Amino acid sequence: MVLGVGVDLVDVERFERALARTPKLRDRLFGSSDTSRPDLSTQSLAARFAAKEATLKALGGNVTGFSWHDIQVTGAAGAPPTLVLTGATLQRAGDKGATSWHLSLSHDKGMAVAFVVMEGQS
């Protein structure tokens, strides 16, 4: 059963400017799993940020005690991306009965998008 759906769209150029303007932002937003691949482009990072936002939406919005590192995207080059939840987001997902996640990422023409579906028992 679908328990939640989230989608988010990120302007890659705006995201790149934010990263350049605030050098510590990348470390605040992304954990080691998010950036484990050295080949990640700004487009890929923007899509991973969109995945974090989409996940929050699928969870129902504001998550008390949330950290950006609580949602990470993993996946080897050529493999489907996978969500890894910890901390407050894992707790919220458990409270909602989530047992699985589906994540799709894409980027084109300066935009990055993520779509998340949360499934489980109601």
Q: How many domains does the chain have?
A: 1
Q: Which amino acid is at 91?
A: Q
Q: What is the mean pLDDT of residues 88-111?
A: 95
Question: Is-contact 50 112, C-beta < 8 A?
Answer: yes
- pLDDT for 18-51, tens place per residue? 999 998 999 999 998 887 777 788 999 999 999 9
Please report, for the domain that includes residue 39, its CATH number.
Answer: 3.90.470.20
> For position 121, what pLDDT does the model report?
84
> For position 108, what pLDDT does the model report?
93
Which residue range forms the structural domain that includes residue 31? 2-120
Q: What is the mean pLDDT of residues 45-67?
A: 95
Q: What is the pTM of this model?
A: 0.93
C-alpha–C-alpha distance, residues 32 and 83, integer Å: 13
